[in-house]
Structure 1
Amino acid sequence: MKNELEYQKFKGLIVFCNKCKRNIHNKQKGKKCSHPIDRQVYKAIVRTGSGYERKTKILEAREFDKAVTEFLEFKEQVQNPELYQQNNKQMQSPYLKDAIAMYIDHMHDEDVPHHMKKHLTESYIKSTTTFLKEFVNFVVKMGANFNAYKLGSINDIVVGKYCNFLDEKNGSNYTYNGKIKTMRIFFNYLIEKEDYDLKNVWKKVKLKSEKPTDISIADKDFFDLLSVISPDDAYAQIGKTHRFMYRRWLKDLIRLKAFTGRRNAELFAMRWNMIHYEDGMPIYIESPNIKVNKQQNNFDEKDFQYSYIPVGEELLDLLIDLKLNEYYDSDEYIIAPDDDNRVNLEKHTSKYFSFFFKKLNRSYTRQLKHLRQTYITQEDMFLSRGFSMQHSNYRITAKHYIDKREVAKQMALNGFRIFPKQESKKALQKGTPDNKKRATSL
């Protein structure tokens, strides 16, 4: 039985699977698709003549010769700017399935001018695609024919039913908000980037309250966690997979995260020659700010923005443990130098952290990202200058990273006051036990 649409080599015409959201055809090795043939479509890709810009379209044809005819008509419209502008509205597919396919291409920066590329992470694209598919499954369960379901059918009634559906699933507020935000951003893209005549009905949905992200990790939790990380009893059941969660570099990675406060991708990109020395002593690590550089399309080293991490006592001890003198000015990675797949290393690290933290049997949970908050909180208290070594805008630091509970505790222990203390002999003689204890500790 035929399991793929007919394909002959034809420049600009490909076979695209609406299920796995990738290009497939018989002439490309490693691009096979096991999904049913009814999930496959012909897709046209035409250059506009403006630099590297391209236009794409999911074709209606189900036969190769008809797809070629439709492709040539589309190509003529694209290469004639005036005609293209006049027919742009007519070329817009009204169907949800085509809009989702187009949006996924957009997230992968296909047909996006160089200066407008987002360079989104695979994890973000994957989660967004998953949320979009969940909405598709929802409308199908409502009785809709996905292949014929139009964007204009998504009105307040549909949105309300979908919100109720999400509520009944009893997922977290984060997940609920993430799914609603995905639909908002998707509709914004259609309206603002593709000029669809739609209203963003998702803007009316009220997001749910979320727990604060300003959580730090206590020193006891940190050291207890390091003590339980070992290859013993380190298997976790994830779905149908029995996965080994221990990695020999995990403790070093956790310590590096705690003592630098950098994002995971930057930790795995950190090399020994990023350490700056003065008078033979390591002073700071000059680490490219990967997130900012991606946002600004900075891929040339001369244009990089950097973060500067002071080599404090704890970080120095870690670097010495990792053989600082042996690797002086080397371009070797600091963490897991023998593994070239840095993306794969980063992919599962947070899960490893969470697995071992559960072994502590705390009444609360902590995540690897909380070590960044811990570092920034301590940095803020140390500097006390209203700026951050981690963010260019201090408001980001104050809103999302400073653990106000820890700040309040340290302020109290350090004798924070609004007005000068008015001492009297009677007050000193009748000091409460708590006051005496705090004074002694200070």
Structure 2
Amino acid sequence: MAKKKKLPNKKHKGLYIYCSVDGCKKNFSWTNKTIEKDGKNVQIEPLCKLTNRKFSNCKNFQFHKYKSRLHVPGTKSGTISKVLDAENYKEAVVKAVDFENEFKGNVESSDEFEFNITRYYLLQSQKQYIYYLENIDVAEHKKVERSQKYIDEILFCLKLFNESLRSKKIKPKFFLIEKVTDIHVGYFHKYLLDFKGYKNKTYNNKMTAVKGFFKWAIKEYKLNVTNPFDDVKKRSTIVNKDTITKNEFKELLEIISPESGFVQVGKSRKNRYKPYLKDGIELALHTGGRREEIVELKWNMIKVVDDEPSYIVVPNLKVLRQKGEGFNDNVAPKIIPITQSLKKLLLRLGYNENMGSHEYILSPDRSKTSTNAIMNNLSKGFSHYYKQLNTDRNLQFKNLRKTYLTHLASTLGGEAKSLSSHSSDEVLQRHYINKKIVSKAVKEMEIFE
């Protein structure tokens, strides 16, 4: 019977665990490690690509294989890999060493690798790019934190590009990167618009993602070519500035129930209702936070002035990630004023009982769920129930943030920037804890009151 495979903290170089399940195909360079979080040592695990569960909870562990990947001499990022026939780590190390010795012998006795040193094929280079995004074999100072969702989206865009080439009888596996020209970008352009039927915003996102791959490849492999995607023009998009009305919001909360949450997804019948859905929707409206900001809210983020909850200090997660660790120390947080309506909501959710604690405000028990799961449930739940209102509008969860910012701008005018963080660092540093602005928002701002 197959046993779950693990990797020690100081593993053999180039050794990974590979999941062979269709739709996953993920390489795990580690299975468990300790990090410091909020002054405490916390055990973390990588997440399964399919289920978003912890590695140790993966139900497909029998499909996990040890895999060895080696650097091809004479290249900067060229690699060769082999799935190892090993049931445990010790066996995998022995097999990996055998593979390394065999590979070295082949290199020394053959001119084949010299022939391929400067030939970079599209498909293999795309795999290397995904490894780069996952920080595999990336120098410590160059590592950037990226979500698995972001990496999966990039991979999907590269697959679309490959599909457009295959539709023209071009095989990405044997197609050199430097041979990609305007003609092939044109194939992709037509494929996205005519075959996939994507709208302008989606088209722009796909083009940008593939352009990013070529930018990396040209720099990584020192190719003497220009980026074939440089001349792609972004197509015009219409920004959805719709806000939810008072009546819509009231009716939406009234219809949210387990009985009306069922929806057919393919062959499966799912229930979009979640016990925390109403609370999440109300928090979104009264804080103006993005999904992750709402899901990550904790009681100790609430600051008290004159014995009253006055404002919430929220890390600006989007900007923090953009700047990266070591470069984001001066990123100003967001300041959310606690209006009378938000105060009532927080009291109902348990402010008095949880004041100052490290517990999450929304769905505090995270033992059987995750931030990503709650985020997805909020989006899907909102869309499902809003459609039942039959308003002939296509509002999404993010429209709650737009509603909040509209009311904030109406109340504070130009001062709203200092709270929403949509401004320069200089303005934020000057205003983000300006008690007069917070006080004004608390006293004057009302949303559906």
1:12 matched to 2:29: no
Q: Over residues 129-155 of structure 1, what are the superposed CA-to-partner deviations in whole Å (9 max), with x where a residue is unaligned?
A: 111112212222322233212213321
1:112 matched to 2:141: no
What does residue 238 of structure 2 align with?
211
Count matched residues.
366
1:371 matched to 2:400: yes
The whole-number CA distance in structure 2 between the counterparts of 1:41 and 1:138 is 31
Q: Any gaps of 5 or more consecutive residues in structure 1?
A: 1-8, 47-54, 77-86, 398-442
**Aligned to 2:340, which of 303, 313, 317?**
313
- What aligned pairs does 1:318-337 form with structure 2 within 5 A after superposition? 318-337=345-364
Q: Secondary structure at the match of 1:217?
A: coil
1:349 matched to 2:353: no
Residues 274, 16 of structure 1: alpha-carbon distance in 2 compared, 3 angstrom cutoff: closer
The whole-number CA distance in structure 1 between the counterparts of 2:139 and 2:300 is 34
- What aligned pairs does 1:172-251 form with structure 2 within 5 A after superposition? 172-251=199-278
The whole-number CA distance in structure 2 between the counterparts of 1:262 and 1:155 is 42
1:270 matched to 2:297: yes
User: 1:344, CA displacement in angstroms?
Assistant: 2.1
- What aligned pairs does 1:13-92 form with structure 2 within 5 A after superposition? 20-23=24-27, 43-44=69-70, 56-59=77-80, 68=100, 72=104, 91=117
**Greater C-alpha radius of gyration:** 1
User: 1:67, CA displacement in angstroms?
Assistant: 5.3
User: 1:360, CA displacement in angstroms?
Assistant: 0.7
Range with bigger deviation, 336-345 or 124-133: 336-345
What does residue 306 of structure 2 align with?
279
Residues 73, 132 of structure 1: alpha-carbon distance in 2 compared, 3 angstrom cutoff: farther
- What aligned pairs does 1:282-431 form with structure 2 within 5 A after superposition? 282-298=309-325, 305-340=332-367, 341-385=370-414, 387-393=417-423
Q: Over residues 150-190 of structure 1, what are the superposed CA-to-partner deviations in whole Å (9 max), with x where a residue is unaligned?
A: 21332111221221122213222222111111111111111
Q: Over residues 304-341 of structure 1, what are the superposed CA-to-partner deviations in whole Å (9 max), with x where a residue is unaligned?
A: 74221110011011011112212222221110011242
What does residue 163 of structure 2 align with?
137
**Which residue type is aligned with residue 420 of structure 2?**
Q
Q: Over residues 83-120 of structure 1, what are the superposed CA-to-partner deviations in whole Å (9 max), with x where a residue is unaligned?
A: xxxx9997455111111111111211223344433312
Q: TM-score, structure 2 length as denominator?
A: 0.71
**Which residue type is aligned with residue 23 of structure 1?**
N
The whole-number CA distance in structure 2 between the counterparts of 1:59 and 1:222 is 56
Q: Secondary structure at the match of 1:202?
A: coil
1:100 matched to 2:126: yes
Q: Note if contact 2:14-2:68 (Cα within 8 Å) is conserved in structure 1.
A: no
Residues 17, 278 of structure 1: alpha-carbon distance in 2 compared, 3 angstrom cutoff: closer
Q: Over residues 40-69 of structure 1, what are the superposed CA-to-partner deviations in whole Å (9 max), with x where a residue is unaligned?
A: 9962269xxxxxxxx753228899899525
Q: RMSD over aligned Cα, in angstroms?
A: 3.9
Range with bigger deviation, 286-295 or 365-374: 286-295
Residues 272, 59 of structure 1: alpha-carbon distance in 2 compared, 3 angstrom cutoff: same
The whole-number CA distance in structure 2 between the counterparts of 1:384 and 1:345 is 33
